[in-house]
Amino acid sequence: MFDFDYTFHWITVWNVFPEMLSAALVTIEVAVTSMIIGLIIAVFLSLGKDSKNEFYRTPSVIWIEIARNTPALFQIYMAYFGLGAFGIHLSPYIAVLAALVFNNAGYLAETLRGGFAAIPNTQMSASRSLGMTQFQTYRHIILPQVLRIVYHPMTNQMIWAILMTSLGTLVGMLELTGKTDQLQSLSFRTFEFYLVAAVMYFIIAKMVLLGSKLLAHKLFKGDIS
């Protein structure tokens, strides 16, 4: 049976809306930073996984395997309380950021590896025979193509990163979810606060996607639909 008898008090939310907005900024900040650092590391991890050098391949494989096959929640908890057990005390902010970098790098590495695999080996041979160094080849020939190929799967990870920041509340980080939790406990207007937070997450995800679309348009000169 459906009996809905609840009177919404939106004013309680608007009174503290500025606090929610600044918490949303923290969410965006952590997601975007973790994505950028994660992407840079992912390039090295994906190359490492295919490397013939044992000392480069093994750590890359371990990183990717752990990052992809354990819950993000566990990774955040380990960065906070796990390292804490060894006397390394990261603040909630840094712990969540580190865990998300770890997670993003692992996933993006596999995405990128797929991208690298799509580029024929002959391109490397061709550019080397034209006198380019290996670095130059990656920088000017291979990476620009790979980034175009992996653009769409990468935006998926971007959204995932935004939504994963909400796990930060488990180590007491006051991003959008944590702040919402704190604010609703003062007034017990739970539904109102969480509904507003959900809408804010939606808008953030859309905004970040739009941003990356504009960036891609500029970088890839219209190669991405």
Partner 1 sequence: MKLMRKLAFLAVAILGLGTTGASADKLDKILSKGKIRCGVVLDFPPMGYRDAKNKPAGFDVEYCKDLAKALGVKLELKSMSFAQRLPALNAGKVDVVIGSTSDTLERAKSAGFTMPYFVFKLQVMTKKDSGIKTFEDLKGKKVTAALSTTPETEFLKNAKSMGWDSAKYFSSKSESDTHLALLQGKADAIVTTDTTIAELLKLPKYKDYVAGPFVPNYDDFVSIIAKRTEYGLINYMNLFIHQQVRTGRYKELNKMFYGNSPVRQLTVDGIYY
Rounded CA-CA distance 160/220 in Å is: 23
Looking at residues 10 to 29 of the shown chain, list those that interact with partner 1 (rule: CB under 8 A). 12
Which one of residues 19, 29, 110, 181 is an interface residue with partner 1 (CB under 8 A)? 181
Phi, psi of 88 (to 5 degrees): -95, 110
User: Which of 115/178 has CB closer to partner 1?
Assistant: 178
Does 91 engage in binding with partner 1 (CB under 8 A)? yes
Site track 62-81 with partner 1 (rule: CB under 8 A), x = hit:
-------------------x
Q: DSSP letters of 94-142?
A: HHHHHHHHHHHHHHHHHHHHHHHHTS-THHHHHHHHTT--HHHIIIIII
CB of 176 to partner 1, least distance (A): 14
Residues 6 or more apart whose Cβ sits within 8 Å of residue 83: 89, 90, 95
User: Which of 2/55 has CB closer to partner 1?
Assistant: 2
User: Which of 49/189 has CB closer to partner 1?
Assistant: 189
CB of 163 to partner 1, least distance (A): 18
Stretch in the footprint of partner 1 (CB under 8 A) among 18-26, 38-46, 84-92, 156-164: 84-92
Rounded CA-CA distance 51/42 in Å is: 14
Rounded CA-CA distance 74/83 in Å is: 12
Stretch in the footprint of partner 1 (CB under 8 A) among 28-36, 83-91, 148-156, 211-219: 83-91
Site track 120-159 with partner 1 (rule: CB under 8 A), x = hit:
----------------------------------------
Rounded CA-CA distance 96/102 in Å is: 10
Burial of 173 (0-12, 13-18, 19+ CB in 10 A): buried
Nearest Cα to 103, choosing from 164, 146, 150, 50?
Answer: 164
Burial of 115 (0-12, 13-18, 19+ CB in 10 A): buried
User: Which of 133/185 has CB closer to partner 1?
Assistant: 185
Residues 6 or more apart whose Cβ sits within 8 Å of residue 212: 155, 158
User: Which of 35/183 has CB closer to partner 1?
Assistant: 183
Does 55 engage in binding with partner 1 (CB under 8 A)? no
Which one of residues 62, 117, 186, 210 is an interface residue with partner 1 (CB under 8 A)? 186
The residues that touch partner 1, with contacts defined as CB under 8 A, are: 3, 5-6, 9, 12, 81, 84-85, 87, 89, 91-92, 169-174, 178, 181-182, 184-191
